[in-house]
Amino acid sequence: MTAKQGGTEPAPPASLSAAAAAPSPLPKLLSALFYGTCSFLIVLVNKTVLTAYRFPSPVFLGIGQMVTTILILYVSKLNKIIHFPDFDKSIPKKLFPLPLIYVGNHISGLISTSKLSLPMFTVLRKFTIPLTLLLEVVVLGKRYPLNIIISVTAIILGAFIAAGSDLTFSLEGYASVLLNDFFTAANGVYTKQKIDPKELGKYGVIFYNACFVVIPTVLICVFTGDFQQATDFKQWTNVLFIFQFLLSCLLGFLLIYSTVLCSHYNSALTTTVVGALKNVSIAYIGMLVGGDYIFSLLNFIGLNICMAGGLTYSFLTIQGLDHPQRFTDEEKALSGTKS
């Protein structure tokens, strides 16, 4: 009796099934571009709101972004546009420690944007990359080939060269952006770990994360006096300011969504490097229009080394080298079928 007569079909080769399960290049590329665009725009808009208009509370702005996220996802769920599970007592355990990481990332990012010039913000944000690489190895058990490590090292080298010539040192700005680097790295790695479609899925992770974070953030805003300062702000009658404040809130949701989407289709390190390349673009713009950048040859050289390393990493990512474990698994599966 043949396998077909017995009612069973021969199993496809493991390499073919693994290749079918791997994401195609187009969603990987589009999700990375979407994340880079959202990340680029929100930094510019936040910089305008917090610096140009001198809005006094980054925390209040962060609350606006969280509330916008909750409303958009909840209305979309009610209209059956998206789906995520209803709340139950297991959800906090499934999410932890993402809410803590998320609020740290959100607030430290807004504070650092307001305290540093765009070029120096760009330089210091590069330290997210080695932290992400380290966390992916420790938390997710990933292994990266030498050429990936070399390209990431080039980005960090450029960051050190540029930072060494900073003429506008700000202790609070440096501390907040380095803290933001750590939270960003942790957020990317743990998001990658939590967005299992069989559990909460990407929409559930975003929605419940924002829900758990918004209440303690509001309390912090009230008790520190930020809420009073924000409500007393005189520009609330300025239509252009209101538009940019609401645009920042919308971009806050889009940034969270694009981060999860990019982490889903790519590695957390890829998401981090896309953000790094975005920051280099912002640095070049900041040199021309920011008004708070002091030109230095070393700083300019460092930024260009960062860009070269990021472009190299992007090329290697397109070649599929940021998923080295996949090739190892295929080889093992093939050797198993031969034995």
Question: How far, in whole angstroms, is CA 88 from its chain's centroid?
Answer: 27
Q: Which two tokens stand for residue 334?
A: 């093939």
pLDDT at 242: 94
Average pLDDT over residues 291-309: 73
Residues of the chain above pLDDT 90, percent: 12
CA distance 318 to 126: 21
* Of the listed ranges 71-80, 137-146, 177-186, 187-196, the one predicted with least confidence: 187-196
Contact criterion met (CB below 8 Å) for 266 and 145? no
pLDDT range class, residue 333, cuts 50, 70, 90? very low
Nearest in space to 321 (alpha carbons), one of 25, 18, 14, 13: 25
Q: Residue 261: which pLDDT band, with cuts at 50, 70 and 90?
A: confident
Residue 111: per-residue pLDDT: 74
- The answer, yes or no, to whether residue 56 has pLDDT greater than 80, is yes
Alpha helices, H only, 22-165: 25-47, 58-78, 91-95, 98-115, 118-125, 128-135, 146-163
| Backbone φ, ψ for residue 165 (5° rounding) | -115, 20
pLDDT score for 287? 65
Name the DSSP letter for residue 85.
Answer: P
> CA dihedral defined by 195, 199, 205, 207, rounded to 10 degrees?
150
Of 114, 117, 9, 140, nearest to 59 by C-alpha is 114
Other CB atoms within 10 A of residue 143 CB: 11
Nearest by Cα to 253 from 74, 125, 114: 74
Contact status, residue 38 vs residue 331, Cβ threshold 8 Å: no
Q: How far is the first Cα of the chain from the last one, in angstroms, to the nearest whole number? A: 23
Q: Determine the pLDDT at residue 171.
A: 72
Give me the pLDDT at residue 71, please: 94
Tell me, what amino acid is at 19? A
Least confident range from 3-17, 182-196, 238-252, 299-313: namely 3-17
Q: What is the pLDDT of residue 260?
A: 76
Chain segment 157-205, per-residue pLDDT in tens: 887 777 666 556 667 777 888 888 888 777 777 776 666 656 677 788 8
Query: Which residues fall within 8 angstroms of residue 11, CB to CB, at 6 or more apart?
Result: none
8 A C-beta contact, residue 63 and residue 251: no
Say how many CA atoms lie within 13 Å of 149 toward its Cβ: 9
The kind and range of the H/E element at 265 are helix 239-265
pTM: 0.62
> Rounded to an integer, what distance in angstroms lies between the CA atom of residue 209 and that of residue 70?
9
Tokens describing residue 81: 């546009």
Q: How far is CA 260 from CA 35, 120, 293, 326, in A?
A: 9, 26, 32, 21
Contacts of 315 (CB under 8 A, 6+ apart): none
161-170, 223-232, 249-258: segment of lowest average pLDDT: 161-170
**For 22-31, 53-62, 91-100, 179-188, which range has the lowest pLDDT when averaged over its residues?**
22-31
CA dist 113 and 170 (Å) reads 12
